[in-house]
């Protein structure tokens, strides 16, 4: 599980203090990072936006956190994760979890391939101290270092 999470999030899939004009731009940045890492094609980014257009801001899963994703498709080349911290918070239209400061992009080629990654990520994101450290990370390398630390020492 440890290496899967970090392996799914290469440095080119991480943007720190990105500028986004609105939620569509923020999700597009997360999609662009998935494309840059080789995990998806641009069609996956379009599918993420279409899902939000259809279903609303369901991807805003916790205060300040959006998990952008779409159904598995041919646009997913391999399981991948992107990490976009925003310079300024963005409103997604969620009643209780807006505004968003972190957009994670998730791509999986099937319905089960990402479960271990999500399990590891959920444990980290649920810990306020660890989230604070991640929010203050100032580089892609630093995000990956912290995730490695947190997944090698899940209790500490």
Handedness of CA 73, 79, 15, 133 (dihedral sign): positive
Of the candidates 69, 94, 114, 142, the residue annotated as catalytic is: 69
Residue 144's Cβ-side half-sphere holds a number of Cα atoms within 13 Å equal to 17
Cα 107 to Cα 51: distance, rounded to the nearest angstrom: 13
Give how far Cα 16 sits from Cα of 2, 24, 87, 114, 120, Å.
Answer: 22, 18, 8, 23, 21
Catalytic residue list contains 69: yes
User: In sequence order, what E strands does 14-155 have?
Assistant: 14-18, 60-62, 65-69, 80-90, 100-107
**What single DSSP character describes residue 12?**
G
Active site residues: 69
């Amino acid at each position: 599980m440890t290496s899967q999470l970090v392996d799914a999030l290469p440095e080119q899939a991480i943007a720190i203090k990105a500028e986004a004009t609105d939620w569509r731009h923020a999700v597009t940045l997360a999609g662009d990072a998935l494309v840059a890492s080789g995990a998806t094609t641009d069609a996956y980014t379009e599918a993420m936006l279409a899902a939000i257009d259809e279903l609303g801001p369901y991807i805003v899963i916790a205060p300040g956190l959006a998990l952008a994703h779409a159904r598995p498709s041919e646009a997913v080349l391999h399981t991948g994760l992107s990490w976009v911290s925003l310079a300024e918070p963005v409103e997604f239209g969620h009643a209780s979890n807006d505004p968003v400061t972190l957009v994670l992009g998730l791509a999986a080629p099937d319905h089960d391939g990402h479960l271990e990654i999500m399990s590891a990520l959920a444990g980290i994101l649920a810990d306020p101290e660890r989230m604070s450290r991640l929010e203050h990370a100032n580089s892609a390398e630093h995000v990956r270092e912290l995730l490695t630390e947190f997944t090698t020492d899940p209790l500490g």
